[in-house]
Structure 1
Amino acid sequence: MTTCVLAVHAGTTGVAAAAVDAAGTVRARGHHELAQHRPAAGQVEHAPDEIWQAVLGAVRGVLGHVDASGLGSVAITNQRDTVLLWDRETLGSPRPTVAGQDRRTTQVCAALREAGHEARVEELTGQGLEPGRAAPALAWLAEHEPRTWALVEEGRYAVGTVDSYLVARMTRGLEHVTDVSNAARTLLHDLEGGGWSGELCSLFGVPVDALPELVPSWGGAATTDPRAFLGLSLPVAALVADRSAAHLGLGCLDAGDASWDDAASSLLVTTDRRPVRTAQVLTTAAWRSPDGADTFALEVASGVDRSSEWLPGVREAAPELASLRVEDGVDDRLCHDLGERLGLDVRRASAPDATLRGAALLALRPR
């Protein structure tokens, strides 16, 4: 069998896994449902161990169809906003995650906004003060669960996004790493500086030492421990947030390339090696190459209905913009509407599973 990448996508309601060959063809798939828990109004959580068990279940589904000897590496992609805590030694978690859809931090964000911090947060991160991001969630935990937070400050508990938790589980706690596409959504990352911001960590009360090391999005960040990961000893060859993975899976590699995420109603436009600031549009880091260079993107999460507000800024920042790539299966009427409103040629992907394929193809890129 041709050597494949084992791609794992940890989403909000389930985990998908696939064996993907060098041509981007999916040879086998696995899937495992993941429960969302809603302990109170506006609160959305996952049980960390349920995430891990869902990963193992999805990977077992792949291994039921391919020989493990045909797998050459692992690529991890995940939804970006969920934040977790876990014990560095036991890997057990003291509490559920705070998921990206959670709105318990609305008052935290409002208080910071009223105190005049939003402009500085936007300057450093390219993002606004929004509920559902990691930094406000961690500030909420520090205030409402001080005993748990004390162990974060003491260094016993690690803090991270879903990818960093999965790497910790796969390596039996040996590695604590993440990539820039995940870090850029936390409100703790300095977009220009490229690392965790001491200023932002101080603002939100998060110890820098609790956060993962930032590593390139591909090129090898760790090796899985077979005792923890279904007998598999594989290099973790790619870490990338699912929005960036889907962008890559749709063939968006260069400046001006644009993709549409139907589930999130969002547009992503690559702007190459420079962060671009423009009104009505988020600026984010899309991925980091092994040489340390970041590729940036503009992200519009408000949908196409408000295109008249943000489209001029996007066109100024990315004058190469000419076409929009979408996954196969997006409604024909929506594709027509997108093309008409944005003045772009809409191109459908030639293959499904853009997120898994994008993560796998990233893992296959040269260092």
Structure 2
Amino acid sequence: MSVLAIDAGTTGVTAVVVERDGRVVATGHQELARHSPASGWVEHAPEQLWQATLGAVRAVLGRVDRATLEAVGVTGRRGTILLWDRETLGSPRPAIGWQDRRTAQVCDRLRAAGHEDRLAELTGLGLDPSCSGTKLAWIAEHEPHTWALVESGRYAVGTVDSYLVTRMTRGTYHVTDVSNACRTLLLDLGSGDWSDELCSLFGVPRDALPDLVPSWGEVTTTDRRSFLDLSLPIAGLAGDQQAALFGQACFDEGDARCGYAPGAAVLTTVGTTLPRARGGLLPTAGWRSPDGELTYALEGALPGCGMTPEAIASEVRDLLAAIPPPTALRVDGAAAADDLRCQLLADRVGVPVERPTVLETAPLGAAFLAGLGAGVWSSTDQLRHAWRLDRRFEPAGRAD
């Protein structure tokens, strides 16, 4: 039994196949071009995203027995937004990437109008161009003919995962989960549902948005004609940071992970009660179970640009100072392969740092979610056993 997972990142799409024991037995990757037609703009061609996805999946299918695949999970960058025609599935414009800064003026106007405090109250977020609600407001303002077809219902709006699910199902399903939706500035974090108030503020028709489904559990099945002759349950959806948290088996309150590549993204699981912002950590949705229970997390990010490893480790320590110290901090990402960085982090934070055998934990988390949804794993306890430790770094140089 194995699970296919797709991770649509900024520069490429990665597909992995994960066995029931947690081993990644096949990996495929396809590059994805980024376009910058103006200063601060970052765009992707939606059709290239889809073709890169097919290419990455095709690469892993050549290395495994497809008959062993039980489900597919999808993760991707949370702040990237796409539009597509519900009938043809073609896109009228490029996707706007999460790094795009064109909406800085939209944010400034909303801030000047006094909306930021209310937005923070409802979403846990401040006004930032990385959030896709501001991108949709920009499209409505600058591309009225395109936006008219969003308002008429012809064009759908969605995050990366929702676009890929649409393509995988031949346009039948338009869905996402709370961990992706919570970065749009359109989700009420307390209720875990789209907010009519926020949709009105940004001018986004609620009917244009995806339906919200649990983060695991069978949503639908892929269409063979569209998806490389595969008919698999789509059973796991998550934004990349939350997928990484899940892939690190950080299921319990106080569990924490630090993505390290080369900046830092810190997330800690806080349970089912909506938390307040603490220090530099902001509340976010972690995942929602099939029974409707919403697990929250606290999230903080450090860009890393121009920062030394020592400075990053100190900033991570300061972020974690706002919460009870975790029993261990799990690390992932490319820079976590560096023993010295991991040891430095353990020394600065003052708790053991645990590095898994699989450093790219976002696709692993998508696989864990899908496998949990399809019955490959029956519980998070089984997933804890599937998570594999590579090395534990003790503070003050006492590494095992």
Q: Same fold (TM over 0.5)?
A: yes
Q: Is the 8 A contact 1:325 1:348 kept in 2?
A: yes
Identify the residue that residue 269 of structure 1 maps to in structure 2: 268
Q: More deviation in 54-63 or 241-250?
A: 241-250
Q: Is the 8 A contact 1:22 1:361 kept in 2?
A: no
Provide the TM-score with structure 2 as the length reference. Answer: 0.87
Alignment partner of 1:362 is 2:369 = yes
Alignment partner of 1:340 is 2:347 = yes
Deviation of the 1:68 alpha carbon: 2.0
The amino acid of 2:301's aligned partner reads A
Q: Is the 8 A contact 1:24 1:360 kept in 2?
A: no
Identify the residue that residue 297 of structure 1 maps to in structure 2: 297
- List aligned pairs for 1:71-220, cutoff 5 A: 71-220=69-218
Deviation of the 1:67 alpha carbon: 2.4
Deviation of the 1:350 alpha carbon: 3.0
Q: Is the 8 A contact 2:70 2:371 kept in 1?
A: no
Change (3 A) 1:305 1:138: farther
The one-character-per-residue Cα deviations of 1:14-43 (angstroms, maximum 9, x if unpaired) are 001111111111121111110001111000
Partner of 1:301, secondary structure, is strand
Identify the residue that residue 322 of structure 1 maps to in structure 2: 327
Deviation of the 1:304 alpha carbon: 4.6
The one-character-per-residue Cα deviations of 1:251-280 (angstroms, maximum 9, x if unpaired) are 211111110111251111000111211242
Partner of 1:113, secondary structure, is helix
Identify the residue that residue 239 of structure 1 maps to in structure 2: 237
Identify the residue that residue 42 of structure 1 maps to in structure 2: 40
C-alpha distance in 2 between matches for 1:186 and 1:209: 15
Partner of 1:169, secondary structure, is helix
The one-character-per-residue Cα deviations of 1:227-267 (angstroms, maximum 9, x if unpaired) are 10011111101011111111122221111111011125111
C-alpha distance in 1 between matches for 2:320 and 2:247: 24
C-alpha distance in 2 between matches for 1:206 and 1:285: 21
In structure 1, list runs of 5 or more residues that go unmatched.
Answer: none
The amino acid of 1:250's aligned partner reads Q
Change (3 A) 1:308 1:364: closer
Q: Is the 8 A contact 1:75 1:238 kept in 2?
A: yes
C-alpha distance in 2 between matches for 1:154 and 1:224: 28
* Identity score, percent: 57
Q: Is the 8 A contact 2:313 2:345 kept in 1?
A: yes
Partner of 1:91, secondary structure, is coil
The one-character-per-residue Cα deviations of 1:124-167 (angstroms, maximum 9, x if unpaired) are 00111111211000000000000000000000000000000000
Partner of 1:364, secondary structure, is helix
Alignment partner of 1:353 is 2:352 = no
C-alpha distance in 2 between matches for 1:134 and 1:352: 28
C-alpha distance in 2 between matches for 1:304 and 1:107: 33
Deviation of the 1:341 alpha carbon: 3.1
* Matched residue count: 361
Q: Is the 8 A contact 1:283 1:296 kept in 2?
A: yes
Partner of 1:136, secondary structure, is helix
Deviation of the 1:320 alpha carbon: 5.9
The one-character-per-residue Cα deviations of 1:286-330 (angstroms, maximum 9, x if unpaired) are 1110001111100011355445764442x2xxx362211012751
In structure 2, list runs of 5 or more residues that go unmatched.
Answer: 303-311, 373-377, 380-400
C-alpha distance in 2 between matches for 1:23 and 1:157: 42
Deviation of the 1:222 alpha carbon: 1.4
The one-character-per-residue Cα deviations of 1:90-135 (angstroms, maximum 9, x if unpaired) are 0000000110000000111111111110010000001111112110
Deviation of the 1:338 alpha carbon: 2.3
The amino acid of 1:347's aligned partner reads E
Provide the TM-score with structure 1 as the length reference. Answer: 0.95
Deviation of the 1:71 alpha carbon: 1.2
Identify the residue that residue 385 of structure 2 maps to in structure 1: none
Q: Is the 8 A contact 1:19 1:29 kept in 2?
A: yes
Q: Is the 8 A contact 1:135 1:188 kept in 2?
A: yes
The amino acid of 1:361's aligned partner reads F
The amino acid of 2:350's aligned partner reads G
Change (3 A) 1:354 1:307: closer
Q: Is the 8 A contact 1:255 1:320 kept in 2?
A: no
C-alpha distance in 1 between matches for 2:247 and 2:33: 27
